[in-house]
Amino acid sequence: MDLKQLDAFAKEIIIEAGKRICASFSYDLEVEVETKSSPNDLVTNIDRETEMFFIEQIYQFDPTHKILGEEGMGEHPDSMDGVVWIIDPIDGTMNFVKQHRHFMITIGIYIDGVGKLGYIYDVMREDMFYAIAGEGAWYNDSPLRKLQPLTIEEAVIGINASWVTPNRKINHEKLIDLIHTVRGTRSYGSAAMEIAFVVSGKLDAYISMRLAPWDIGGGIIIAKEVGAIATNLNGQAPDLSGSDTFLIANPYIHQLILEHYIEEK
């Protein structure tokens, strides 16, 4: 498998998909939305069309490649053998519908279960965060640096406000300690955007109680190249076969957050 060739192809179709999404906007656009499972989880036609575009392009490129996508338009692969693309055509669907910004295309390409190429593409900014396993990570044309040492008090972390309120999944009192310790918190409504911010040092950690493989499949490959540590909240590698908890952080604070501030119920 020629990774450079695969990388060039992946970037080409991501950028093309981004252009198609942009073209679908207009000032008075009212995206037709349908509710999937909750109002928090909007799916749009553009989301599905974008996934179909990826599937067609990838099968044309190599029909042996397998595709695991959020919208489930392709056949779900029964194993990670061979080349598997894990695709979220639009991460941050509500931002997409309501804000026309802050949504990402994110893709991870795995060969026999090993992450090889990772992409997070900010469609409206035309900003690409990406990595080639073992060769490094980039933000557009600039190499991303290894994450630098910092203390927990200097950290800015991505976390949704609901996790610091009483809930069934996690001890919110400990998370309250965390947000009172760090310098600041942010919440953007797109897991891939928050992961992209961590790998580029714009955030120092991001915590979520429940992410799907397509939310993180690209990001965790980039993470590795910059030294960010990505695990579930038990400290294990995130489970790519189903939904899981998630913590990605600067390596100098990952263990501290896990040990001192995370207690699952």
Under 8 Å between Cβ of 88 and 215: yes
CB-based contacts of 22: which residues, under 8 Å, 6+ apart? 123, 124
Residue 165 in contact with a second copy, rule: CB under 8 A: yes
90 in a known ligand binding site:
yes
Write phi, then psi, for 114 (nearest 5 degrees): -105, 125
Pick 58 or 196: Cβ nearer a second copy: 196
Which parts of 125-164 interact with a second copy (CB under 8 A)? 125, 142, 153-154, 156, 159-162, 164
Beta-carbon neighbour count of residue 181 at 10 Å? Answer: 16
Nearest distance, CB of residue 165 and a second copy, angstroms = 5
Place of tokens 């953007």: 188
Q: Which helix (H) or strand (E) holds 64?
A: none
**Using CA atoms, how far apart are residues 49 and 60, in angstroms rounded to an integer?**
17
Question: In 3D, which of 265, 218, 166, 199 has the Cα closest to residue 54?
Answer: 218
What is residue 123's three-state secondary structure?
A: coil
Pick 72 or 184: Cβ nearer a second copy: 184
30 in a known ligand binding site:
no
28 in a known ligand binding site:
no
**Using CA atoms, how far apart are residues 63 and 59, in angstroms rounded to an integer?**
4
**Using CA atoms, how far apart are residues 102 and 122, in angstroms rounded to an integer?**
7
Nearest distance, CB of residue 139 and a second copy, angstroms = 9
Under 8 Å between Cβ of 146 and 256: no
Nearest distance, CB of residue 51 and a second copy, angstroms = 23
> Binding a second copy by CB under 8 A: which of 44, 106, 185, 245?
185
Residue 187 in contact with a second copy, rule: CB under 8 A: yes
Q: Which range in 67-75, 194-202, 213-221, 240-248 contacts a second copy by CB under 8 A?
A: 194-202
> Binding a second copy by CB under 8 A: which of 63, 134, 149, 166?
166
User: Strand 205-211 relative to strand 156-158: parallel, antiparallel, unpaired?
Assistant: parallel
Q: Interface mask (CB under 8 A) for a second copy, residues 77-116, using x and -? A: -----------------x---xxxx---------------
Residue 169 in contact with a second copy, rule: CB under 8 A: no
Q: Residues touching a second copy: how many (CB under 8 A)? A: 33
Which parts of 21-60 interact with a second copy (CB under 8 A)? 27, 39-40
Handedness of CA 145, 95, 25, 212 (dihedral sign): positive
Question: In 3D, which of 117, 142, 112 has the Cα closest to residue 218?
Answer: 117
Name the site residues for a second copy (rule: CB under 8 A). Answer: 27, 39-40, 94, 98-101, 125, 142, 153-154, 156, 159-162, 164-166, 176, 179-180, 183-189, 197, 201-202
Q: Which residues are annotated as a binding site for Mg(2+)?
A: 70, 88, 90-91, 215
Q: Which residues are annotated as a binding site?
A: 70, 88, 90-91, 215
